Structure formats: structure tokens, C-alpha cells
Amino acid sequence: MRESTAHRFSLQQVYIKQLTQCGVPQEHYTST
């Protein structure tokens, strides 16, 4: 179960990184 959480966190980091590469400011997500 712990591995699942880590894997989900990893996917979330990749997802945010892809959004930032698309030109979406990361601050938009940290402030939410």
C-alpha cells in the first residue's frame, strides 16, 4: 500500500511537471 502511495505521488509530480512545460505556472497549483 505504501508503494501505491509513492507511485501515485510520482505520477502527480510528472503530471505537474508536464503542465509546467506546457506553460502553466506551478504557483497556480501550490496556491490552490
Q: What is the pLDDT of residue 8?
A: 86
More confident residue, 10 or 29: 10
Q: Place 32 in a pLDDT band, splitting at 50, 70 and 90.
A: low
How many whole angstroms separate alpha carbon 31 and alpha carbon 5?
23
- Using CA atoms, how far residue 3 sits from 8, 9, 10, 13, in Å, is 9, 10, 10, 15
Query: pTM of the entire structure?
Result: 0.43
- How far is C-alpha 6 from the geometric centre of its chain's CA atoms? 12
**pLDDT of res. 23:** 64
pLDDT band at 6 (very low <50, low <70, confident <90, very high): confident
Higher pLDDT, 5 or 25: 5
